[in-house]
Chain A
Amino acid sequence: MSPIIEINDVHKNFGHLKVLNGVSFDIERGEVVAVIGRSGSGKSTMLRSVNRLEKIDRGRLVVCGHVVSDPSVDLHQLRRDVGIVFQSFNLFPHLTVRENVALGPRVARKLGRAETAKISEAALARVNLLEKLDVYPEQLSGGQQQRVAIARSLAMEPQVMLFDEVTSALDPYLTGEVLGVMEDLARGGMTMLVVTHEMEFAKRVANSIIFMNEGRVWERGPGGMLDDPQTLELRQFVGKT
């Protein structure tokens, strides 16, 4: 079976700044891949390119059978298959938790009332937030908001989930509860691409880790590679000099 995500020699510039400079890697179905690297190494841009929030300049990108690098790709179908969770949660502040999660199934998947309710409640149960159905996002802690955002994505029943530094805005305690939910998802077989600064999480949960530097995949390996960096840059990044 072919990989669920294929990234081949992808380039992207912002003006004169080369952000992605020939990124290539594959992800198999059910794999959890953590992407680490310094700020500005291109990891967020790479992640956002996968569901075409950023358009790449050159290279080939195929996700769940959709050729993302083709300008005529079906964006609606692509984004139904690929969920994304953001650093700043981006919940809809005018909707309750239940409405936030139900919006996708009801409007984008055009499901009926009963099925929408069943799916949203199941998604909220997976992030342990069933008791917060009728509150507004601003009444929740950051960790709870991020878990709602994960549930909102789950309710679309995606094949792949992207996580863009989802714990960077949270304190260590709240980070723990969000990472716990993500670990459950990983164990449930979800294909996940996770941009993160949580090294312990990357080591423990990811099947492989990608270290990005200067817009390229600098090193890729299993969790153990952080203890035995092959390149000077990764050694500096993990603080082993």
Chain B
Amino acid sequence: MGGSFNSNHFVFLMMGAVWTLALTMLAFVSGGVLGFVVSLCRVSPLRALRLITAAYILLVQGTPLLVLIFLLYFGVSMAGFQVSPLLAADLALTVYSSAYLGEIWRGCIESVPREQWEAAECLPLTRTQRMRLVVLPQAYKIAAPPTAGFMVQIVKNSSLASVVGFVELTRAGQLVNNSIFQPFLVFLIVAVLYFAMCYPLSYWSRKFETRSGIYARVQPE
């Protein structure tokens, strides 16, 4: 068949990896912004906002990401809007990560002790000031490890974008393999590239978890 694995194939795979990273970053940024709004709505004093976002999370978490991608690519095209594979994949990943990050961050906000809210309330800070100056800075530190952990999930799940023809790392692997038919070698390289992207995130996440005394930037004498 089409010859053996050469440097052109490797460059093609690397390009795929770059697109995987790009898709992940896009999804993480837009999913993060939306997820932050979702998490704030989940702890809002307004019952309606809490219920709506709870339903949103339930709905998204109960739907396979693959189906979300199909829905946004084929479904929206049928409705008459031209959607590129990148846009469809990005939208699907955004929706997906906003629901999960929203729920992770809600947990982080709620794990800031109630006494902290109370102390801020008695100072007296307004609700927005309490959130911004007291609760979020503490929740942010609690949130770092699970957030880094979830980013690993986005990197890997971005491979599902291959089903709508978006050439990220997995799709690039399929294309190279179709031409030279060396599945073991090709997908081994693909796997190593995924690992190389995920490992720093896992490492970072673990480092956050094991670091103790996170508030002490100054050493006690």
Contact = CB atoms under 8 A, between A and B. Distances in A.
Interface of A: 51, 53, 75-76, 79-80, 83-84, 86, 88, 90-94, 103-104, 107-108, 134-139, 152, 156
B144 to A, nearest CB: 13
A79 B116 contact: no
B213 A88 contact: no
Nearest to B123: A104
Interface stretch (B19-27, B52-60, B130-138): B130-138
Interface residues of B, number: 23
Contacts of B121: 53, 79
A198 B136 CA distance: 37
A107 B216 CA distance: 24
A76 B124 contact: yes
A90 B141 CA distance: 18
Contacts of B184: none
B118 A93 contact: no
Interface of B: 115-116, 118-126, 129, 133-134, 137-138, 141, 213, 215-218, 220
26 contacts: A53-B122, A75-B124, A76-B124, A79-B121, A79-B123, A80-B124, A83-B122, A90-B118, A90-B119, A91-B119, A92-B116, A92-B119, A92-B120, A92-B138, A93-B138, A94-B137, A94-B215, A107-B129, A108-B123, A108-B129, A134-B218, A135-B218, A136-B216, A136-B217, A138-B213, A152-B123
Contact of B133 (A103, A138, A152): A103
Nearest to A53: B118
